[in-house]
Structure formats: structure tokens, C-alpha cells
Amino acid sequence: MRFKPKDVEQLRADLPVDLAAINPLSTPGYVGKVSGKRLRRRFHKFDEELRTLQEQLFAHARISASTDDSASGGRGTNRAGAILLILQGMDTSGKGGMIRNALSVFDPQGLKPISFGAPNAEELSHDFLWRIRKHTPQPGEIVVFDRSHYEDVLIQRVESMATPEEIERRYGAIVDFESELAAQGVTIIKVMLHISPGFQKKNLLRRLCRVDKRWKFDPSDIENRAKWDDYQRAYEVAIDRTDSDHAPWYIVPSDNKLYARTAVKFLLLRRLRAMGLNWPDPGYDVAVQQRRLSQ
């Protein structure tokens, strides 16, 4: 069995997107018979590296906040970046489970999960990006959006909550917004967790059958299933209109939850590696501080 971090680049959205051509139970990049035991080993294989890279990202931000680069000879190694991971998908696609499981490897002080529900009255009185902007990553952070600004071109398109002209405007606003974030040093990863109607039905039935899961069930979920094709088309258009090299979309087949969680960990690992992180210069003379402690 082979499934390496570089293999997840196969999940990059191929435009124009045709979701019907992507099998939600497939495991792109995974060679050989799918084995839960072997996949679990891959799931955990790079955990220590992920922890180290996240701490280095956080450390760079901490040092940058307390040290003036110009006063330290113009060091460039202390510049801090950030990551924004956007998780989208139909109900029961595993967004919450992704955060609880795949991202539990990270230190909570540098990880910020944000869940976006239906906008409240105050949020509706502003442009759709107003509530999103308040939660964009600060240097050193990995921020995860459980749903996002894309709901405003998905749900609102399918449910005709906004005019076609307004939906069209929002595609452009999203592209501009994400370009702005990228220019500020934010690495953006956008993931659609792609599931089948049968997988969703099984998950919804499980929620109804378990007392501890019924609070997650919403009768409107059944109504939305009748609009499955409309939602798939809305995703296709949104991905086509907003995919870019600085804010790429990845379509992750997610009927196999462990595969999907491993794939997302690998996407994060590749982006963290690409940052060229190391341990930052602390901004003080280590030998001097050691002598002070020895006195």
C-alpha cells in the first residue's frame, strides 16, 4: 500500500467540475486494497512532523510580534504566515468529525475552528463577507471554517434567497477576498467533502436511531435531499468560479471517512512543508542568558 502526501494533489479540482464523474467511495492516490488497519497507520504516520511544523509556525508569529525585524538586522526568518482551511460539504459529510479527529494532532493554542450557521439579524444587515472577515487567520494560526462564505453562493443559490445577479457578484467578491488574504501571507486550502446520497441517508438514519445524535438531526435535511442535484450543480459552479492557484479547491471523496481525514491531514502537511519553517531566532543572545542563569 502506498499513499503519500504528494498523492493528494490528485484531488485538486479539475475544471470544469463534474461531480457525477467522481466516485465518493474512491480513494485517489491509495494504491492496493483498501485496508482500515493500514490506512490508520498512514493517518498517524506524520503526526510528529505536523506537531513540530505547527509549533514552528506559531513560534515565528510569537517572535515576530515581540521583535522588530529592523532592529535585528533585517532578519527575514521571523516572518510568520497562517493557514485557512475551508471545509464544505453536504450535511453529514464529516466536517465536524474532520476537526475533532484529523486536526486533533495540533496544539489548540494555534488551532481555531469556526463554525458558521445561518446568519443572525445583525449579520444579515451587512455584506455577506462581514462576519467572515472577523475570523480570518492571524499570523501563526491555523483557522478552520466549518462551512463558510461559500454558503452564500450555495444555499442562497439553490433556495433562491438571493437574485442571480447578487450570486454572480458574490463569486467576484469571494475571489477578491481570497486574493487579499493570500497577499497578506495566508495559505488557503479549500476542501469539498464529496459524499453520496446513500452515505448521507445512512448517517441521517443513524442520527435518528441514537438518542445522543438526535440533536444533530434537522427535518429540513430530508427536504434538502430532494434538491441533491441542484446542490451538486451549485458546488460545481462555485468551484469553477473561485478556484485559483492561491486558493485551490480539492474535491475529497468522503464515503470512506478515514481516507478523507488522512487526505486532509496530508494537504495541511504539504502546505506547512512548503512554508520552509524552522525554529526562529529568539532575538536574544542565548549564551548571555545561559551565563546569567549560571551566576
pLDDT (tens, 9 = 90+) of the chain, 295 residues, equals: 589 999 999 999 999 999 999 999 999 999 888 888 999 999 999 999 999 999 999 999 988 777 654 444 444 444 579 999 999 999 999 999 999 999 999 999 999 999 999 999 999 999 999 999 999 999 999 999 999 999 999 999 999 999 999 999 999 999 999 999 999 999 999 999 999 999 999 999 999 999 998 998 888 888 889 999 999 999 999 999 999 999 999 999 999 999 999 999 999 999 999 999 999 988 899 999 999 999 9
What is the DSSP secondary structure assignment for residue 248, as one 8-state letter?
Answer: -
16 cis-preceded (ω within 30 degrees of 0):
yes
What's the pLDDT at 223?
86
What's the pLDDT at 66?
72
Q: List phi, psi (to 5°) of 139.
A: -50, 135
* Burial class for 121, CB neighbours closer than 10 Å (0-12, 13-18, 19+): exposed
Angle between helices 257-274 and 47-66 (to 10 degrees): 40
- Rounded Cα gap, residues 90 and 233, in angstroms: 12
Residues linked to residue 83 through DSSP beta bridges, in sequence order: 142, 187
How, if at all, do strands 142-146 and 82-89 pair?
Answer: parallel
Helix (H) or strand (E) holding 192: strand 186-194
What's the pLDDT at 218?
87
What's the pLDDT at 79?
54
Question: Measuring CA to CA, which residue among 266, 265, 270, 267 is closest to residue 101?
Answer: 265
Q: Where are the alpha helices (DSSP H) in the chain?
A: 36-45, 47-66, 95-101, 121-124, 130-133, 151-158, 164-183, 197-209, 220-225, 228-242, 257-274, 286-294
What's the pLDDT at 78?
41
